[in-house]
A and B are shown apart, each in its own frame.
Chain A
Amino acid sequence: MTGLTEQWSDALAAAPQEPAPAWLRELRENAVGQFRAAGLPHRKVEAWKYTPMTVFDGLRLTAAEPVPAPVADLPPPLCESSVVVDIRDGALGEVPADLPQGLTVLPLATALERFEERLKPLFEAVELRGATRAFAALNTALATQGLVVHVARDAAGGSAAGRLLLRWGLSAGAAATMGQFRLFVLLDDGARLELVEQYLGSGEAPGDGAAGLNVLCQAELGAGARLSHTRVQAETEQAVLLTSTMLEQARDSRFVYRGFDLGAGLARHELTTRLTGPGAEADIAGAWLLDGRRHVDNHVSVEHLAPGCASEQFFRGVLGGRSRGVFNGRALIQAGADGSSVRQSNANLLLSPLAEMDTKPELEIYADEVEASHGATVGQLDEAAVFYLRSRGLTDGAARRMLTAAFCRAVTDRVADPILAERIGGLLDAAMPSGEQL
């Protein structure tokens, strides 16, 4: 057992039991046991071979209730006309009471009673065994903070724009704790929700110490339900952010994901969706623009378990400084899932001699009537294109920035709302790594 595993195991053992239903208390005890047994993942664990575990050193686990911070501290909302919920350092802020028809947003503790029948199987469905599941086990054991979002049958969740905004903030230095947060998104048949998450720092000047957050999100999409999920992450380099999103998609449901990683010392996002009903679709796209010593891991897994489902994974990365990007895309087509279509693509620009990109697009196919393709590239800007722009009077730097921005536009263009797309584009421009003259 490594020092950190030991330290965290002790913290788990010392954590007081929060009041909860008996089944949940049992589950939490089990999670503690599983974590102690398997410990934290390390480089020899295939799914974690590229993730630097040293960033967790110095982060403490705490079971103490986090104190919600004043809302004013957080950066302004990324999009208007939204129902906004703030979560700072893993502590849930005030949940708006005045919600549109069909939308329910409740703190986990309150929701456990009302949605017990639906939450219990979801809690139980999370695999906790083994080192790869260490953070899921930690989350189950410690996440007393959480949020449950429910959209009733055929209703559009959120405000007039059909939108719910989660505004996260991590304040560096202050606590140096590894916060835990649980999120549930339940969409009944035909329900629609546009979920936007922003991780744009706490609004404070970055401190010295690290701040960690481990978020586990489970979403259930009923038949014909639509979930649009946009996530913009530009935390400070002190932030250690682990997020895991697990979806179950019923017949004809549609999941659209747009993820942008511009920050954090370490950001690791695991996104898994299971297409359990025929005709379900997952349209997943993302981009990362990294500079400094940032490290971003994106692990996407789409499981085709029913016939006639379609999925796409489309990711683009730009890496400068000493940054490191990791992409692990997986598409599984189970036997019997005929008529499936899978597309996977990951293109990257390496701008600096010290940056590194590790990409692994995987296909696992057990059915024959399918169409599957994937592609991955790592390269640099087309020098002929740079020359063309320079011949038109642009400076070398401007030409390169323009081409890099155009490279990322392929993802921002896929954000449906043009205003949101424009704002994200602006953030991307601001975060553009300074490429060196090669």
Chain B
Amino acid sequence: MNSDQITVDTSSVDRFVQQKYKHGFVTDIESETVPPGLNEETVRWISARKGEPEWLTEWRLQAYRNWLTMQAPDWAHLKIEPIDFQAISYFSAPKSDKDRPQSLDEVDPKLLETYDKLGVPLHERARLAGVAVDAVFDSVSVGTTFREELKKAGVIFCSFSEAVRDYPELVRQHLGTVVPPRDNFFAALNSAVFSDGSFVYIPRGVRCPMELSTYFRINAAETGQFERTLIIAEDKSYVSYLEGCTAPMRDENQLHAAVVELVALEDAEIKYSTVQNWYPGDEEGKGGIYNFVTKRGMCRGDRSKISWTQVETGSAITWKYPSCVLRGERSVGEFYSVALTNNFQQADTGTKMIHIGRDTRSKIISKGISAGRGQNAYRGLVRVAKTAKNARNFTQCDSMLIGKRCGAHTFPYIEVGNPTAKVEHEATTSRIGEDQLFYCLQRGISEEDAVSMIVDGFCKQVFRELPMEFAVEAKALLEVSLEGAVG
């Protein structure tokens, strides 16, 4: 088809591209924040403030000392102004934390209002949807629902601080075993100053009765957020964990460096889903969250399975590679990703599949969408160790370009050291199908609906991996981020 024959009205496009961030507001809650800067004293202060045992304080200090010897990675396809780590405040807790609410009724109403604005009425919708929500507001957990119901099943789902207090031996046994404190620059930083996060423990043979969900929200200005999540699935257990986030509008770039560790033992399965919609910066590329995340799952037991699904539409900078270490025989790793960059957003994201055990399998499906001046890179590693007999990997990463000034990049690393392994990688990059658009338009479908349909179809393979409610949210998010961004 000759593209000259098609004229597309771009005014609606421009209008939608200009659309403001819908979740931009700041809740006025007094925070208790340490002054900016990082030294051993800060680390000790955070640890003491949280009443941590000595071993954890030492663990943090060791991580901090490691961090001092490391350098921020520069290999990613990202343009980042150097970050002044001394200009960041490393701890912030809502003031009402002093008398921690015992139930949601006692939660600061302003806080609940914030969730309300986000469309997350903690107690009601959570109950209706059968989802337990452990909401992290800045750095401290403020409410957990459904704990009783989970307790009956023997599932532990609580904030990280509570886990350190109530289940120290479990935390100590697993903390840092998947992402060691000196794994990389940002993981080391997180290990030194991590504020809070979630802890999940599924006992042997238990299928978690509901999907577990945490809503994160960055709130106090100029405060980095450093969550630490640890999920342990014992033999023959199953859990599906949902993580989603939105953040208020702000001018300063905010640093976010989380660490997520998953441990799957024999026959266990962990499904980890993320919808990330942090503030991406304005149309000029000013502001926005810097998101440097280390997520890794260890399939420690035979026949275990870890599945990552992510929808990344937010953040000014995304540096994130959810990975699977397939150690157990016949263990399975999966990665499904939709990453969208618009305006001046930059994403360098992908996964690592490390095959160590025999007959291990992995699958990678990545969909990248670039619009505006967005730069979207897939970076993935598939490594088959000498020991991984009959390992199997299939990778497909497709990129869609919408507009003249964006970029789509693919950097797949494939390292194979076993002759019985089969590794396949395929990728395509193309602009949004003009013939498809034309077809929809001449059927009377509006342009933005057509784009939305095409993008939705492009991402379908990933969306169908998301739990139902999340899939709806993800689809809506993509529409908001992209509506009519074609020209």
- B interface vs A, CB < 8 Å? 75, 77, 384, 386, 399, 401-431
Contact = CB atoms under 8 A, between A and B. Distances in A.
A423 B437 CA distance: 52
Contact of A372 (B386, B425, B429): B429
Contacts of A238: none
Contacts of A364: 77, 407, 409
Interface string A21-54: 0000000000000000000000000100000000
A373 B427 contact: yes
19 contacts: A350-B416, A353-B386, A353-B418, A355-B417, A359-B414, A360-B413, A360-B414, A362-B412, A363-B427, A365-B429, A368-B402, A370-B401, A370-B431, A373-B426, A374-B410, A375-B424, A377-B422, A378-B416, A378-B422
A370 B430 contact: yes
Interface residues of A, number: 36
B427 A375 contact: yes
Interface of A: 46, 335, 348, 350-380, 436, 438
B425 A379 contact: no
A369 B418 CA distance: 39
B429 A363 contact: yes
Nearest to A349: B419
A371 B399 CA distance: 11
**Interface on chain B toward A: helix, strand, loop, or mixed SS?**
strand
Contacts of A367: 401, 404
Contacts of B412: 360-362, 376
A378 B423 contact: yes
B404 A335 contact: yes
B424 A362 contact: no
Contact of B414 (A354, A365, A376): A376
Nearest to A44: B75
Given A363-B427, A373-B427, A379-B422, A368 B411 contact: no
Contacts of B428: 372-373
**9 closest Cβ contacts across the A-B interface?**
A368-B401, A350-B419, A378-B416, A368-B431, A372-B429, A356-B417, A363-B410, A376-B425, A378-B423
Contacts of B421: 350, 378-379
A363 B409 CA distance: 5
A46 B381 CA distance: 14
Contacts of A378: 384, 414, 416, 421-423
A436 B420 CA distance: 11
A365 B427 contact: no
Given A371-B430, A378-B414, A380-B419, 8 more contacts: A350-B418, A365-B401, A365-B408, A368-B406, A374-B427, A375-B425, A376-B414, A380-B420
A371 B421 CA distance: 30
Nearest to A351: B419
A379 B410 CA distance: 21
A356 to B, nearest CB: 4
B75 A46 contact: yes
A416 B93 CA distance: 71
A348 B421 CA distance: 11
Nearest to B387: A353
B436 to A, nearest CB: 15
Nearest to A324: B417
A438 B412 CA distance: 27
Given A360-B413, A363-B409, A364-B407, A355 B419 contact: yes
Contacts of B399: 363, 365
Nearest to A366: B407
Given A357-B416, A360-B413, A360-B414, A365 B425 contact: no
Contacts of A372: 428-430
Contacts of A376: 412, 414, 423-426
B397 to A, nearest CB: 10
Contacts of B423: 376-379
A50 to B, nearest CB: 8
B243 to A, nearest CB: 30
A368 B410 contact: no
A108 B327 CA distance: 57
A377 B427 CA distance: 12
Nearest to A332: B409
Nearest to A371: B430
Contact of A438 (B408, B414, B420, B429): B420
Nearest to B408: A365
A366 B402 CA distance: 11
A62 to B, nearest CB: 35
A366 B407 CA distance: 4
A377 B425 contact: yes
Nearest to A376: B425
A361 B395 CA distance: 13
Contacts of B414: 357-360, 376, 378
A362 B410 CA distance: 5
A362 B422 contact: no
Nearest to A338: B404
A371 B412 CA distance: 18
Contacts of B75: 46
Contacts of A436: 419
